[in-house]
Structures are given as structure tokens and as C-alpha cells.
Chains A and B, each alone.
Chain A
Amino acid sequence: MAFHTIGKSELRRDLPEKLTGQAKYTSDVQLPGMLFGKILRSPLPHALIRSVDTTSGLKLQGVHSVVTPFDAPPGQIAPDMPILDTEVRYVGDEIAALAAEDEDLAETALRLIQVQLEPLPFVIDAADALKNGAPKARLDGNLVGGKPLTLARGSIEEGFAQADQIFEDTFSTPAQAGAALEPRAAVALWVGEELTVWKSTRGVHADQLALSLALDIPRKNIRIIGQNMGAGYGTKDETRLAAITALLSRRAGRPVKIELTRQEEFVAGRHRHGTSTKVRIGVKNDGTLTAIHATTIMDTGAYLSSGPGVIRRAGQGALYLYKCANVQYDGYLVYTNTPSGGSYRALGAPQGHFALESLVDTIAESLGMDPLAFRLKNHVHKEGQPGERVTPKGNIVDTQPVEGGIPFSSNGLKDCLEMGAKAIDWDYPSKQSEFSELRRGKGVSMFIYRGGTGGRSIARMRLGSDGDIHLITGLMDVGEGSLTVISQIAAEELGVSYQKIRTTFGDSAITPEAPITAGSTATFSTGTATKKVASKLKERIVKVASELLEANPCDLLVTNDGIENHQHPDQGVTFAEIVGSVGEIELEVAVSPGSPDHIINSFGAHFAEVEVDITSGRVTVLRYVAAHDSGRILNPKLAINQIEGGVSQMLGFTLSEQMLIDNRSGVTLNASFMEYKSPTIHDYPDLQVLFANVIDPIGPFGAKALGEPPSIGVAPAIANAIYNAIGIRYRDLPMSPDRILTAITDQKDLKK
């Protein structure tokens, strides 16, 4: 079937405004009489606030409102987070806030606030926090839920008993800052009973609900207007800032803006959870897997945030990437007195896959098997995992199941491994440099990711009075381009050009309910709703036209301007004429996408070729191949951008980035772009993106999840390539020059 816009690299809809600097971000919002807010943050990692005296701050002329834990409403912004609390749990936690005529004045006034803190014992390291008698990171205990999350299929005891050999190793990953260029910001205007908030967000309806619960006002009285996002990668998943801004506005009777500083964004923003993962794998001598057991200790920091979802996803690789009857995952989510983790791109999957895919290479080598051959032999196939289905028949299957016996809707893992291997010339060892200190090698990793279906989503389309086609959804384009891709879906289904679609996204007052743009679900959830509503709109328009033209609906074609009769090309009716005749047509469709019979997952394989300078410890990624099965690619250019972005971002996770918290004081040491070592353009490799030829039978136009998967395979592919180059297995990220060099110095017999 030929498409006119699906599969084409249509230009991003926000391209002109972003290129010309016209795009509006939250910090661009200017309202008459607007005040500027600043937040007073805890200097201690754990303390009780005895008192907050704001008298001197409020005395300054131009300071209009203040909010403290003692006068904030009692609502919760999250189950473990009040709007403001009398217990502070990390250095940087919010104590109080005030609003003043300008930012400098607000800062000056903030310095005048007197706070009495009673220090409490604190714990910085997650492993320490689990020890008996460890200081409590919060008054109600360190291990979230009091026990680990345990997910299992079959019996690992039986599986290990069947094994000829058992391999075990432990790997760690640091906290990785989101490092979005735009620090989070919110503008609030509270007039009478009505609250309007402009913010950088990944979901206007989620924010609306959170504010409604926290502030105890009806949802209908709250309007959230999503602005352009200067990136978030999922980490802009909190609403506390908006709640504080809203309270300052209510008390001042004026609009208030708070924009975090860079340092605040690093500390009070959200990051990828630090982890330690032990993996134990049993194999037969022929390479058949008999058992996989992964145990992850994950540091959620001071607050839970998305932690429960993240700890669960860290186990998906161990539970489902390899065909195996006996698997178990134990996830310990731990509170510490450090900044909060959040939902950073692919949640726990990169951490879990780094451990799993590193150990798998060790096993392959021990068995004398090529790492690629080992994966080709053992990867999960389309028929899914061995075992019995547990989910009752007819029920929607979870996208991250534990049970076996359920097939995938599609699975291009094998294609990805093969096409990637070909592109990187896997069968040939790296051509070595003429300089003996530069050692080259290749590595591979593969991955599985849930994502796909997402939550209940509504799309609305309208044939407007001017004959224009409007697409209205509550979805937020968080910078990834969903606005563009969803418009392509609408245009394709309806039969008009992509440019013809006018869009309204991300405004809770005028758009229908949408889930958060997270979990790589936007194309699937809102895309499915959009495809359905476009189909219904087309049906309706054709019906009206057939009556107006007295033609058989089967002979009618939708064109860019209206309806044509292909039997009688002189016969037609414009969209405007249709509206003129029957009035505006507006339709809405709600979907809760998913499948009762199939698991809908994305897959991929990544290949890296690296060069290690054994005198400086520097790792250069020479070549990188990312092969993905994300179903049909709806917009290749945007999809390639997504993958390039994901790989680049995780190059930092792999080689240089790590949030460093001083364990004596709880202070974040490197909360700046100078000290926090994100890679730059000079560090990026030659990157080739490949797509498996997979059309998913369930996804809209055959599409599956794409947003997060690019970030999963990077660290293990590079770690495996480094091992191939110098024969050293690095278990701790980032593999920065100091660590590379230290291990080389300690190693007596470096691979020649």
C-alpha cells in the first residue's frame, strides 16, 4: 500500500518558529504585573524545620508573597511529598519560597529568611541505606515498600541446578542528570477560583490532576498550558514547582514566574537513578540458558517520583530479552538523602541492560562463542517466552509481562542483529591503528523495551467553518516531534496533505484528555486515537458529499480541498461547501490501546567500534551502528534524530557523566555544565541508523515505540567494545579516563 505522507520525512511542524527564535518557552511568558519567585533550599541533607521566620524578607519593598511549610495547604503533590514539608530530605529540598518585583530582589529577600533546622541522621549511599541500623533517609524507612519487587517465571533454583556453568558479576551505574538545556519553569496566575499555569511539562492533564489534589480545588478550575520544551527526556515529571508558584500567585494576587537556575535544575531537577545490579546466569556448555537472576539496588533519592516504574523496567532485560524458562528479578528501591531520581529516557532499562549485556559477553567468551552468535542463538523470538500465560484470556496483555506463553505482535530482534553486524563488518576484527598505544575493538548489545500502547487517549478532529481540518489532542510534544508524526497519521487517514492539518496540543482547557508523553507511547496511544477519529471524519465527510453530489460514496475521493468524484472528475464539493451545507463537523474518539493476544515491544541491536588510548585512558567511539525495530517508521528523519539524540546522550552516561554527591555533607559537587561532563559535538561518533523491515500488525500504520529505545544499548555495546580492544571488563560507569587508566595500570598483561 502506498502512502502519501506516512514514511516521509515531513519537516517538523515547530521548525520555522524554532529556527527563527519565535518559539515560546515557559520563560518567555510575560504577564502584566508578573512577579518573580525564588525558592529557599535546604543546606542540610536531612533535617526537621523548627521554624521559618519570613518577617525581614517580607518587609522589603516589592516582596509580595511567601509560602512556608507552616502556612502551605496540607495537600500532597505526590504520595510521599507534601507541597512543602517540615522535614527536608536532601541538600536542595524546598523549604520556602517568595515572590517579588524582580529576581534580584527575590534573591535578596530570600537571604533574609531565618530558618531553624534540627539536623537528622542522613544516608547518601543506597547500599549503606539498606544496612541494618542505617540512618533513616526519611522518618518512615529506607526500603520502599519494606520489601523488594520480585518478579519470576519458572524456578531459578531448578534452572541453576540444570546449568553446566554459572556466571555472576556486579555492575554499577551512576546518577545521570537530565541536563535539559531549559531549566524547569512555571508561571501561575490565580484569579478568584481559577488557576492558570504555563509550564514545561510532559502532560498537561497529569499536572492538572496533581495540582487539583494538592491544592484541593476542582480540576475544572485549573488550566495547564504546555509550552515548548527545551527538553526534558522524561525528567520534567514533577509538579511541586507549579504548586509553589500557584500559591505565591494566590497570595500576591498577581501572576508569578519561577525559573530554576542551572544549579537548581541539576539538584532539584530529576535524574536517572543510580544502580548496582548483580546478575547471575546459568548455561549449558552448548550455550543454552537455564536460569537468569538479576538483583538491582536502585537509589531513588529523597522522593519516590517515578521510582516504582523505573525499578520495574530495570528488570525487563533479565526477564525477557533471552529465551529462558527460569528467570527472576529482585528490585530494591531505596530512599537516600540525595536529589530525587525521575523518569529519564528508558527509565531503568539502560541500567539493567548494561549489567545483563556485559555479563553475556563474558559468558560467550568463556564458552568460546562469538558474542553475536551467542545472542542469535538465545534471543527471544516472536513466539515469546516459554511458560504458561497467566493473564486471563481476553484481558489486555501488559507490555512488560513476566509470564511466558504470549507471543509478540512483531519481533525484529534477529533482523537488527544481522543488519547491524553487516554494517559494522562484525566478521572482521577491527583494523588496528599504526600507533601501538591506540587499541581498537568492536562490541555488540541488544535490547528489548516495553512502551507502545500507553494510557487512555482521546483525539478530536474538526472540519471547521473555514473548511480547515483541525486536530485537537491533549498530548504534549516534548521536543521529540509527536506533533508532526500525529499530524501525519491524521493526514494519511483522512487523505489530505500533511500541511493541511491544523493542530492544537497540550492545553488542558481546550484539548481532550491525553496521557503523559512518556514511556515511548505517544505515537501509539494518541496516534491510534487520531487514526480512528480521522477515519470516522473521512467517513462522515464522504457521506455528506455523496448526498450533496448524489453520488455513490465508493466513487468519492478526499483531496486537499474537498471531495472529488473519480467517475466524474468535474463533480466535486469543497470542504467549505460541506461545512456551509451541514455546519462544522467535530468528532472525538477515545482509545485504550493494547492487545489481548500479543505483547507489543520494541527491539534493537547496537554495535560500537572504539579506540582506547592506553596512555591517556581516552575512549573514542569511532563508529556506531544502531539497528532498531520500532515497527514502521512514520517519519524517517525524525526517527533518525531520535536515535542520534539517544545515542549521544548515553555516550555521556557511558563515558563521562555522573552526579557526584559529597557523602559528608550531601552537597552535589558538580551541579554545572562545566563540572558535569556531558559530551559535546566533538565527542560524537560516526553514527549509522538502521531500521528493521517490520510492520507491526497492531500499532498505528504498523508503528511501535521509538523514543526511549535508542538509549538502552549504548553502554553495554561500548563496554563490550572496550573489552574487545584491551581485554579489560569495566563494571562501573562512567568509563572515564581515570578509571580506564587505573585499570590499565593495574592490569599486568594487557591484550596485545
Chain B
Amino acid sequence: MKPFKFEHAKTINQASETHLRETPNASFISGGTDILGEIKEGNIEANTLISLVGLPNMSEVSTLSETLEVGALVTLSRIASDKSVLDYYPVLSQAAMSVAIPQIRNVGTLGGNLCQRPRCWYYRNTSFHCLKKGGNECFAYAQGNKYHAILGSDECYVVHPSDIAVALLALDAIVCISSSAGTKDIPIGEFYVPPETNVLVETVLKPGEFISKVKIPKPAAVSKSIYVKIKERQGYDFALTSVAVSVSLEDGTIEKARVALGGVAPIPYLVPHVDSALIGKSVSDLDAHTIGQLAVQGAKPLSENQYKIQLTASTVARAVAELFE
């Protein structure tokens, strides 16, 4: 492994400024489960790693009157088992629990999970200078694309690997970004950047910026949520497809609904037309199968991932059916 400098940041300013100074050869690190692999495999050059684990106020889960605030350094294990999360946001706890293996969940953090890089095997292999690395070609377009995107892209077909992001997207969470310039809040729906905007990155984060926490709005009096993830093997695996659904209900009628898909698009993917189809419906009138088909409307398969269309439709149908069981 190529040697690198390791900086323990004590303050937001220090972390941010070091990153700004050392960019482009610097990265933030918290749990390190993704970044260290990337460095080890020679996929990214990082001369400096700036550890965020010493920063104050980023390791708490706090219930406030209108939101639940989860610090960026909170581990996935803790999210999976936190009582408020379990009680009010089952989709998030299920998503956290579905990540990798206990060892990874014990060190992997919320912030790191949201910022992990795609798992595309061309992107991850130094032999391929692909679009995402500044090259001219998406190697997945023609072949070797079984795990790649069916939605949301016309040039780079990576899929975003985060489970947590899909759940937070369905919950309409707010991402709090810190830097030496201060703090700003943006909806998670605007946090991720599609390839047509900038194929080199997945998020809006600029040099010197990192996630400090996530705020999740308080659920309505009657609300339900669910995360369903389909994996190729039952142990550690990324999603072939995943679905997060969050709804609020009044008298058996769906008042609000948000459906998000994972494993099928370059960024965690919203399907607002599915939300519209759900809103106003009586739970007893729902046709899960139709909702599932709606979710994959406009999907464009590559040569080896046609199956993802059927798989995603049936997974959405399953999630909806289970939610109102």
C-alpha cells in the first residue's frame, strides 16, 4: 500500500482547511472501510487522509421536536439498533442492518456510507480509464454490465452502492454539510449529482466540505416505512436492486408517499410518478403489481441487466405489499 499522511483533525476548520490545501490528493476518513480499499487497490491517489473521528458533536443521535438528528460519525450498527430509529424510521434501521457484515457496520459511519464511491468493476480497476476517472469511455456500456444501471443515465452506468442513502431519500432527509466556510443544509434529493451534471463525482461536496449530520423529519402520526434489498448472496453483498418506501396515512388513505430505488441508477433514485400513484389511494385499493411496473417505467437495460427491470418491479411490489400487510 502506498504510504500516506494521516491527520487527526480536532476542529471543523482544521479538517476543512487541510482538505482544501491538500486537494486533490486528500480524502476525509472516518470508518475507512471504503477509502482504504480504494487506496490499496491503487484506484485513488491520496497522500493525505484527514480523520474526522475526533471532531466534536458528530457521534450523537438526538431526538428534537421536529427532527431526528444523526451525526455523520454514528456507526451503521448504532443506526440499526437505535431505539428512535427502530420506532419511527424502520426503513433506515433495515437499510443499516442490510449493509455488509457486522465488522463493517461496527466501524462504517453514516457520513462514510453516504459518500462511498461506486462499486463498478471498471471504475474500481486501474486497468480501465473510464468516464468516471476522466476517460472517454464507459466500459460497461457494451458488456460486463450485469450489475449496472437501468435508470438515470445515458453515459456512465455505475450504480450507487449506498443502502442508507436510499432510505434517507425516501424519508426526505436533510444533509448538513460543514466546512470552514460554515454549515449548510440541503435536501438529500439534491445532495447526489447525476452523471450528466458531473460524471467524476457523485455528490455536491466541494473541497473542504464534509457531511456533519443528517436531519430526518419527524414522521406523521400514522406512518410506515420499509426497506427491501435483493442481494445475489445472503451474506455481505451490495444490492442488485433495493427499494425504500415511506408513507404517511390518514384513515387508511395514503397522504404522503416517497419511493426510492437503489442499485439501479448512478445515484439513489427517486420515482415521483410512483409517489403520485400512491398518494390519495386507499390502502385496500392498492395494486402492488401495477405500482411495481410503474417504478421501472422508462428503464433502459444494457446487454446483461434486462433482469433488473423485472427484479426491481417485483421488489417494489413486494415492498408495497409488505408495507400494508
Contacts and interface: CB of A to CB of B under 8 A. Distances in A.
A274 B54 CA distance: 50
Contact of B315 (A616, A656, A674, A683): A616
B311 A107 contact: no
Contacts of A680: 233-236
A62 to B, nearest CB: 14
B121 A675 contact: yes
Contacts of A656: 232-233
A679 B125 contact: no
Contacts of B315: 615-616
Nearest to A614: B314
Nearest to B308: A738
B125 A617 contact: no
Interface in B139-186: 139, 143-144, 146
A737 B235 contact: no
A592 interface: no
A35 B176 CA distance: 48
B232 A737 contact: yes
Nearest to B228: A616
A519 B187 CA distance: 61
A663 B303 CA distance: 15
B122 to A, nearest CB: 8
Given A104-B3, A738-B305, A662 B139 contact: yes
Nearest to A742: B307
A616 B41 contact: no
B237 interface: yes
A263 B127 contact: no
Nearest to B309: A745
Contacts, number: 85
A12 to B, nearest CB: 26
Chain A contact residues: helix, strand, loop or mixed: loop
Contacts of B306: 742, 745
A745 B317 CA distance: 16
A670 interface: yes
A683 B144 contact: no
A307 B193 CA distance: 49
Contacts of B305: 738
Interface in A663-687: 663-665, 667, 669-670, 674-675, 677-683
Given A736-B232, A737-B230, A665 B127 contact: yes
A665 B314 CA distance: 36
B235 A682 contact: yes
A91 interface: yes
A660 interface: yes
Contact of A104 (B1, B122, B308): B1
Contacts of A43: 127
Interface in B105-142: 119, 121-122, 125, 127-128, 139
B2 A104 contact: yes
A616 B230 contact: yes
A683 B128 contact: no
B218 interface: no
B2 to A, nearest CB: 7
Interface string B245-256: 000000000000
B310 interface: yes
Contacts of A662: 139, 143-144
A9 B307 CA distance: 47
A108 B235 contact: no
B240 interface: yes
Contact of A617 (B121, B304, B311): B311
Interface string B300-325: 00001111101100110110000000
Contact of A616 (B3, B146, B233, B314): B314
A634 B134 CA distance: 61
Contact of A741 (B1, B121, B237, B310): B310
B149 to A, nearest CB: 14
Interface in A97-113: 104, 107-108
| Band of interface residues on B | 20 to 34
A685 to B, nearest CB: 12
A663 B304 CA distance: 15
A175 to B, nearest CB: 15
A677 B127 contact: no
A662 B145 CA distance: 11
A618 B240 CA distance: 11
A663 to B, nearest CB: 7
B39 to A, nearest CB: 12
B121 A738 contact: no
B121 A669 contact: yes
B311 to A, nearest CB: 6
Contact of B127 (A91, A108, A617, A663): A91
B127 A679 contact: no
A738 B127 contact: no
Nearest to A662: B144
A741 B307 contact: yes
Nearest to B232: A677
Contacts of A108: 2
Contacts of B308: 738
B41 A263 contact: yes
Interface in B197-243: 230, 232-238, 240
A738 B301 CA distance: 13
Given A263-B41, A615-B314, A736-B232, A677 B237 contact: yes
A745 B301 CA distance: 14
Interface centre among B233, B234, B240, B304 (most CB of A within 10 A): B233
A664 B145 CA distance: 14
A616 B311 contact: yes
B235 A738 contact: no
A669 B139 CA distance: 11
A42 B90 CA distance: 49
Interface string A730-742: 0000001111011
A551 to B, nearest CB: 63
B128 A667 contact: yes
| Most chain A beta carbons < 10 A, residue from B1, B143, B232, B240 | B232
B121 A745 contact: no
A107 B2 contact: yes
Nearest to B314: A615
Given A91-B127, A615-B318, A683 B235 contact: yes
Contact of B128 (A616, A618, A665): A665
A738 B232 CA distance: 9
Interface in B30-77: 41
A675 B125 CA distance: 12
Given A104-B1, A670-B121, A675-B121, A683 B233 contact: yes
A87 B234 CA distance: 42
Contacts of B3: 104
Contacts of A263: 41
Given A91-B127, A104-B1, A669-B125, A738 B234 contact: no
Nearest to B318: A615
A670 B125 CA distance: 9
Nearest to B41: A263
Contact of A679 (B144, B233, B304): B233
B226 to A, nearest CB: 16
B25 to A, nearest CB: 16
A737 B128 CA distance: 27
Contacts of B121: 660, 669-670, 675
A669 B233 CA distance: 18
14 contacts: A43-B127, A108-B2, A616-B230, A664-B139, A669-B125, A678-B233, A679-B233, A682-B233, A737-B230, A738-B146, A738-B240, A738-B305, A739-B307, A742-B307
Given A669-B125, A675-B119, A738-B146, 13 more contacts: A91-B127, A108-B2, A615-B318, A663-B143, A667-B125, A674-B238, A682-B234, A682-B235, A737-B230, A737-B232, A737-B307, A742-B307, A745-B310
6 shortest A-B CB distances, which residue pairs? A680-B235, A682-B234, A615-B314, A738-B307, A741-B307, A669-B121
Interface of B: 1-3, 41, 119, 121-122, 125, 127-128, 139, 143-144, 146, 230, 232-238, 240, 304-308, 310-311, 314-315, 317-318
